[in-house]
A and B are shown apart, each in its own frame.
Chain A
């Protein structure tokens, strides 16, 4: 039972605040997070960021210690597996160094020049999430470190995490692809389409313009049609076999990244030249032009996805 004393101003205050809240929501949606609300967000994040960083600095080691104690057996096993992986990778690295030396020699002999543009990378720590329901990630790098709204974010293994939604001087907010509003343009083999978020699950709906079936375990990578991500970044794998109907194929995809366990992410300074990217979507495909002296032929190749 609700009780109300006569003459109190609680209800008018409630109604006023609700109206203000609804107006703010409408304005924020219509301005797409920009304008005054964008400035307010940046200001609030700038004020709270130092406190969040301080708290994360104190709290994270303690939580990691508790996590480690509760997962001691698993960690030992992981440690052994990682040591083995390190040994294998070291062997691969040595082989790669030999290959690189050989490549450099050939480049010198044939006077080759790559036209690929290096994408800047900013490594950042995940310091938290806004609350229990908002699955966005707060990272400890912001505009003062070169991060801008819309830049793609990957994890340390190169798997797609999401994109930057808001930036303050010291922090940024990342929205994962699994809850982002627009999905990701992906390619499975030669077939392109979209991976779209679904409610209450991390699995994504995969819609492809397809002539051929896809199979469970097939890899989905970002497509060159994507305006938000560079082509070829691994996104996830197909969960179930599916065949096309009327040139459209629909199935589900499991993203490679579990955002709730992420501690470190990499923000890509992409597109390298935003003006060019905005005017010409084709620049999303990185190409390498090679001119071979002697026969005068020129070949242009796109990098392999993944």
Chain B
């Protein structure tokens, strides 16, 4: 993988984290999990699967470092979601809606895992008011963002303008 691709990915993860912790934390009607979405979309690119897992783990760990929950929780969850993404990505590039549904489904898996593992490790900070609403709204928001951004993201990382044209 080229240095430029690595720098692009690091930049995107950083932008996702900053937007997630500032802009999207203040919106009540649209609550995506941008970093999780990034971990889901990376398997769609030509990046090696092992590296995709490592990036997902690092991105999750970075969010953990900035949050109040136990360190490693999101690292684990994002890695599992990225692994599921790698194993099912062949079925995701049929069409734009299918890609978005696939990303929304993986997001739902991710948020349920986050709550389950968080509960097992006593992370009450993740179980505040409205947690049930967020289990529904976060996958929907990620579905919408994936519908808009997934093809663009893959073309940017792979430097392939023909990728995800769904022809």
A residues bordering B, Cβ < 8 Å? 1-4, 8-10, 13-14, 17-18, 20-25, 27-29, 37, 40-41, 43-45, 48, 51-52, 55-56, 59-60, 63, 127-136, 138, 165-166, 173, 175-176, 178-181, 197, 199-202, 260
Contact = CB atoms under 8 A, between A and B. Distances in A.
Given A51-B18, A199-B127, A21 B65 contact: no
Nearest to A176: B128
A48 B138 CA distance: 23
Interface in B108-138: 111, 114-115, 118, 121-122, 124-132, 134, 137-138
Interface in B17-72: 17-28, 31-33, 35, 49-50, 53-54, 57, 61-63, 65-72
Nearest to A41: B65
B65 A40 contact: yes
Contacts of A138: 21, 66
Contacts of A136: 67-68, 125
14 contacts: A10-B50, A21-B61, A21-B75, A29-B122, A52-B21, A55-B19, A128-B22, A129-B21, A130-B68, A135-B129, A180-B125, A197-B124, A199-B124, A200-B128
B145 interface: no
Interface in B65-98: 65-76, 79-80, 83-84, 86-88, 90
A98 to B, nearest CB: 43
Interface size class of B (residues with CB under 8 A): 35 or more
B64 to A, nearest CB: 8
Interface centre among B32, B57, B111 (most CB of A within 10 A): B57
A29 B123 CA distance: 10
Contacts of A166: 68
A135 B134 CA distance: 12
A44 B66 contact: yes
Given A44-B62, A180-B125, 11 more contacts: A3-B88, A17-B53, A24-B72, A28-B72, A40-B65, A44-B65, A130-B21, A133-B118, A134-B69, A175-B125, A199-B127
B71 A173 contact: no
Interface centre among B71, B87, B114, B137 (most CB of A within 10 A): B71
Interface centre among A17, A29, A52, A133 (most CB of B within 10 A): A133
A125 to B, nearest CB: 11
Given A14-B53, A134-B126, A200-B127, A45 B66 contact: yes
Interface centre among A9, A21, A52, A181 (most CB of B within 10 A): A21
Given A132-B138, A179-B127, A202-B129, A10 B19 contact: no
Interface of B is mostly: helix
B18 A48 contact: yes
A13 B24 contact: no
A48 B15 CA distance: 10
B157 interface: no
B72 to A, nearest CB: 3
Contact of A178 (B65, B86, B129, B132): B129
Contacts of B9: none
B156 interface: no
Contact of A24 (B31, B75, B131): B75
Contacts of B31: 132
Contacts of A29: 70, 121-122
B68 A13 contact: no
A197 B80 CA distance: 30
B22 A127 contact: yes
B18 A179 contact: no
B163 interface: no
